[in-house]
Amino acid sequence: MFYAIRHTTRFQYDKPVTETVMEVRKHPRTEGNQRCLNHVLRVTPRARVFSYRDYLGNIVHHFDVPGRYTRLVLVAESLVELEPPAELIPLTADDWAELDYLVQHGDYWEMLTPSHFARPSHELHQLRMELNIQREADPLTTVLAAKQKIHDFFEYQPSLTRVDSPIEEAIRLRKGVCQDFAHIYIAIMRELRIPARYVSGYLFHNRAIDRSAEGATHAWVEVLLPKNGWVGVDPTNRLVACERHVRTAIGRDYADVPPTRGVYKGEAKGELSVTVRVTQSEAPIEAPADSGLSDQWVPISEAEGAADYFHQQQQQQQ
């Protein structure tokens, strides 16, 4: 299956800002059942774009805009080929010992220890007890049962939590979006000593079964299982990651893989909008003229001096 993806991010300010330096993580990965056949990133105002590969294999583009501007637009276009993932190999109770051996002797500590958004708390412990999420008959049964329980417990509701909300907020509200559910799932898996990592990417939606929002990036989780390796789990949509999930970046949690992150100089109030279009295709999407408008603009906080985009110019993954 081929997917053409167009991901547009727009920042609009009421006063000019300058000296922007930004990183962008929108380039789909090539590994396993996924191949990125083409990727182009365009920046307005015009900028020279460089790239590097981080220690987890994510391709990171970066650029700077030294001049003054009131509007910054990033358009990333990708063509990706995806094959159905391999069938999961059933596990037995003996595989708990194999998983514990992998954890003890492998290099998975970063995906087992607390991270910025996925960390233990009283609220998380109470949730795990209420849902009775524990080591079950085998590791595969455990991760699939936890996916089902989190999906059923939480209501999907966009715009209720924020990009920087701690997991305790979604737990208290019993509502949230894919970013919240992924962080909660990761934190619980790590308490069970199952390595878990955050996946940022895109989903080609099936409206009959998916409850996550179209037109936005998506987030899910990968867990390490004996005989199966890293297995994608989407608690938002009650899915095992399939040929509709396009992976762009992996990390300990969202803090490692935001689609955009940078700094700028200036004092301004601004708005941020993100639009994502994923279509089945056998050729790249022809880019339409950019109108500078989108359906939803989200206010970003006032900047003073050099401000971090992580708080000021991020949109929550839906």
E strand segments, 167-289: 175-176, 196-203, 218-225, 229-234, 239-240, 245-251, 260-265, 268-280
Residue 212 and residue 280 in one domain: no
Model confidence pLDDT, tens digit, residues 173-204: 999 999 999 999 999 999 999 999 999 999 99
In a domain, 87, yes or no: no
Model confidence pLDDT, tens digit, residues 40-65: 999 999 999 999 999 999 999 999 99
Q: What is the mean pLDDT of residues 17-27?
A: 95
Q: pLDDT confidence of 281, banded at 50, 70, 90? A: confident
Q: What is the mean pLDDT of residues 29-41?
A: 96
Among 236, 256, 276, identify where a domain stops: 256
Among 235, 256, 277, identify where a domain stops: 256
Q: What is the pLDDT of residue 282?
A: 63
pLDDT at 289 over 60: no
CATH number at residue 216: 3.10.620.30
Determine how β-strand 2-24 pairs with β-strand 260-265.
antiparallel
pLDDT at 318 over 90: no
Q: What is the pLDDT of residue 268?
A: 86
pLDDT at 226 over 70: yes
Query: To the nearest whole number, what is the mean pLDDT of the chain?
Result: 90
Q: What is the pLDDT of residue 297?
A: 55
Residue 275 and residue 248 in one domain: no
Number of domains in the chain: 2
pLDDT at 217 over 60: yes
Question: Which of 251, 120, 104, 255 is CA-nearest to residue 188?
Answer: 120
52 burial type by CB count under 10 A (0-12 exposed, 13-18 middle, 19+ buried) = exposed
Q: Which residues of 282-295 are buried (b: 16+ CB within 10 A; e: fewer)?
A: eebbeeeeeeeeee
Domain assignment of residue 161, given as a range: 95-256
Model confidence pLDDT, tens digit, residues 136-180: 999 999 999 999 999 999 999 998 898 889 999 999 999 999 999
Residue 75 and residue 115 in one domain: no
Interatomic CA distance for residues 135 and 115, integer angstroms: 22
In a domain, 107, yes or no: yes
pTM for this prediction:
0.89
